[in-house]
């Protein structure tokens, strides 16, 4: 686990577009955290591991069909070059286990992660099997490449690293931390667009505010996410 003053949490990314990194992670909280040494990033170009004169990384699929497939030997060589980097070997893929806050917490508690971003139709199955790659999906949709999922996964992990966010409470009350979606927020002005801030939030009564927020969280979760609500109710029994 990374903490201020100790080894940074190490993110390693293999991509055909390494210039997409750090991308949005070069701004705001993630950028500040990287500059303070809380996490580090190594992004490699898979194409650098191609051995033929055209530096080709893909080929047509055996058995026919549309699209191209990433060559196993090239991807394997790219992975071999980061054998010394810490963390699970994850291939971002729509076929993978769905990424969620629990997985972000697990990964953030490890020393780092190695992410492989696919392109075209994806990787030759043999390198997935030979390397025991763990497939992780961002959701039930198909993107053009694994770079956006990798950035999203990294962002979710980085903000969980100790010292990245200011107050620990910021995390405790967030959506999914207790299996519920978050309650609504309000700020100044007290009245806007003809609507006042709920009276309870102005009461200064912390226990009642906490219980109002809990009720709101439960109601929002019940209405919007029957799957989370059923799990939450199950965990309470």
Which residues sit at the interface with ligand SAM, rule CB under 6 A? 92-95, 117-119, 121-122, 137-139, 141-146, 149
Do the beta carbons of residue 162 and residue 39 sit within 8 Å?
Answer: no
Beta strands at 191-192 and 195-196: parallel, antiparallel or unpaired = antiparallel
Nearest in space to 47 (alpha carbons), one of 120, 135, 128, 96: 120
Of 72 and 179, CB closest to ligand SAM: 72
Q: Which of residues 137 and 175 has its CB atom nearest to ligand SAM in the complex?
A: 137
Least distance between ligand SAM and beta carbon 205 (Å) = 44
With 0-12 CB in 10 A as exposed, 13-18 as middle and 19+ as buried, what is 129?
exposed
Least distance (Å) from ligand SAM to the CB of residue 124? 11
- Choice between 25 and 38, CB closer to ligand SAM: 25
**Closer to ligand SAM at the Cβ: 58 or 112?**
58
**What DSSP character marks residue 19?**
G
- Among 119, 141, 120, 44, residue whose Cα is nearest residue 83: 44
Q: Any alpha helices (H) in the chain, and if so which ranges?
A: 28-35, 72-80, 101-108, 125-130, 147-158, 169-172, 206-224, 226-236
Minimum distance, C-beta of residue 100 to ligand SAM, in the bound complex (Å): 13
Shortest Å distance, C-beta 160 to ligand SAM: 20
DSSP state of 65: -
Among 35, 21, 77, CA closest to 163:
35
Determine the residue with CB nearest ligand SAM. Answer: 118
Spatial contact of 180 and 221, defined as CB atoms under 8 Å apart = yes
- Residue among 151 and 201 whose Cβ is closer to ligand SAM: 151
In whole angstroms, the minimum distance from the beta carbon of 188 to ligand SAM comes to 39
Q: From the CB of 138, what's the least distance to ligand SAM, in Å?
A: 4
Nearer to ligand SAM among residue 67 and residue 198 (C-beta):
67
């Amino acid at each position: 686990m990374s903490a201020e003053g100790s080894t940074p949490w190490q993110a390693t990314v293999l991509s055909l577009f390494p210039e997409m990194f750090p991308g949005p992670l070069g701004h705001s909280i993630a950028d500040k955290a990287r500059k303070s040494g809380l996490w580090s990033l190594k992004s490699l170009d898979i194409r650098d591991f191609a051995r033929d004169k055209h530096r080709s990384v893909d080929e047509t699929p055996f058995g026919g069909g549309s699209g191209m497939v990433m060559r196993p030997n090239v991807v394997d060589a790219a992975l071999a070059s980061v054998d010394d980097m810490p963390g699970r070997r994850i291939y971002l893929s729509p076929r993978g286990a769905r990424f969620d806050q629990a997985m972000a917490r697990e990964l953030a508690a490890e020393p780092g992660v190695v992410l492989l971003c696919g392109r075209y139709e994806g990787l030759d199955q043999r390198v997935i099997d030979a390397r025991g790659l763990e497939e992780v999906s961002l959701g039930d949709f198909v993107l053009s490449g694994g770079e956006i999922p990798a950035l999203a996964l990294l962002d979710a992990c980085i903000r969980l690293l100790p010292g990245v966010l200011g107050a620990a409470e910021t995390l405790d009350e967030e959506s999914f931390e207790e299996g519920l979606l978050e309650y609504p927020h309000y700020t100044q002005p007290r009245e806007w667009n003809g609507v006042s801030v709920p009276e309870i939030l102005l009461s200064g009564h912390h226990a009642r505010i906490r219980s109002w927020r809990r009720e709101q969280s439960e109601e929002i979760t019940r209405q919007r996410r029957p799957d989370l609500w059923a799990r939450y109710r199950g965990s309470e029994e």
